[in-house]
Amino acid sequence: MKNVLLIIFLSGIASLVFAIEFTVAPLYFIDETSERVMAQNNFHDRLLRELGSAVTGTQLRFRSAGSFRYNPPQSVGDAIVFCRDEQVNYLIYGFIVRKDQTIQGELRLLDYERREVIAHFFAMDSRDREDELIKNLADKLFRFVKETYNIIVIPDPPAFTHIQFPVSLGYWQPVDKNWIKLIFGLIRIDGGIQIIPSDNVFTARGYAHYFSLGVDISYRLGVGNYYPAWDHGFTFSFPLLLHRQLNERHEIYTGFGLMYSFDILYIKKPYEDPVTEIYSSGGILVSGGWIFHFKERFFIFADLRMELRLYKTPMLSLTPSVGVIFRQYTQEVVNKW
């Protein structure tokens, strides 16, 4: 069971391959009004935000260089060394220069395989219009990439409200030693309802994001490790999840929530009569997973959940599971969030 769940999860992640990826290096900033050269600035982050404002999914990715151990590249030679050391295929680098009356910018797109700059992008604006300058540069760069590499962009994707019903099967296991020696987790079955107010709340790094609210009911079965025992657990949980749509068929999610557990424990100690104990507790959960849109209203998902039950001795457990989602209701949102 464990191996099957792991294979399903890794297979889904492995299928999320980016068609093309561009890396944004730190930008070189020169302030001529104060005779300063600033290697560290926020133009890099602002450019990334602008480039990620369109929904492109896994067709295209703009990412940070990931390492700021180098000074911002200034020459083609600097950019080639940067690409070689950071294992980058396409590098975006350039300059921002503030003058007395204006602010100017230049971006260059380097193709490491060809060892040359394949495009230049220029923009200029009044000195106090930094945001407009970055937006202008990002628009020119994005337009070039879209046309050159045939990237499909949805300028203003519609948003929909959904109501759906997830059902899953998995197993559970305590992770702290105090509980491992007492109980061994077996099967777990989950079902519930999930409400998505809008499936396109905001766009970041080229992906549409949205939130879902859920109510789940689960049953789990455990057996005693020390004494013969059976633990029947019922849990009501209320997860709030943030979803990222990677493309038309794949999405990932993560989130947290509150839960309430109700357990019936049957224990048979040696030389004693069987005892049935009933106990309950609140708790919190953290969840993450992957969803594959198999059909329009039928999805497959893999989930990994960590739960903390606040018993007298708190129990921390892990629950990997796989399941399906049945989407029953869809309505277009007139006014998006």
Residue with tokens 């923009």: 123
Highest averaged pLDDT of the listed ranges 39-43, 176-180, 247-251, 306-310: 306-310
Percent of the chain surpassing pLDDT 70: 86
Max Cα separation, the chain? 92
Same domain, 126 and 202: no
Q: Is the residue at 12 inside a domain?
A: no
Same domain, 70 and 185: no
Same domain, 141 and 261: no
Over residues 261-286, the pLDDT tens digits come to 999 988 877 777 788 888 899 999 99
- Residues 21-34 have a mean pLDDT of 85
Same domain, 189 and 304: yes
Same domain, 24 and 167: no
- Residues 143-167 have a mean pLDDT of 83
Same domain, 113 and 167: no
Of 319, 285, 323, the residue nearest 304 (C-alpha): 319
Residue 143 or residue 306, greater confidence: 306
- Which CATH number covers residue 298? 2.40.160.20
Same domain, 185 and 123: no
Same domain, 247 and 171: yes
Looking at residue 154, its pLDDT comes to 61
In this prediction, residue 161 has a pLDDT band, given cuts at 50, 70 and 90, of very high
Looking at residue 68, its pLDDT comes to 57
Number of domains in the chain: 2
Q: Is the residue at 10 inside a domain?
A: no
The torsion region of residue 132 among left (phi > 0), alpha (psi -120 to 50) and beta comes to: alpha
The torsion angle over the Cα atoms of residues 117, 123, 128 and 134, rounded to 10 degrees, is -60
Query: Does pLDDT of 39 surpass 60?
Result: no
By residue range, what is the domain housing residue 243? 160-332
Same domain, 184 and 287: yes
Residue 223: partners with Cβ closer than 8 Å, 6 or more residues away: 183, 184, 186, 229, 230, 231
Over residues 219-253, the pLDDT tens digits come to 999 998 877 888 999 999 999 999 998 877 899 99
Q: What radius of gyration do the chain's Cα atoms show?
A: 26
Over residues 84-127, the pLDDT tens digits come to 888 889 999 999 988 888 999 999 999 999 999 999 999 999 98
Same domain, 137 and 193: no
Looking at residue 40, its pLDDT comes to 53
For residue 139, the tally of other CB atoms under 10 A from its CB is 16
- Which CATH number covers residue 84? 3.40.50.10070
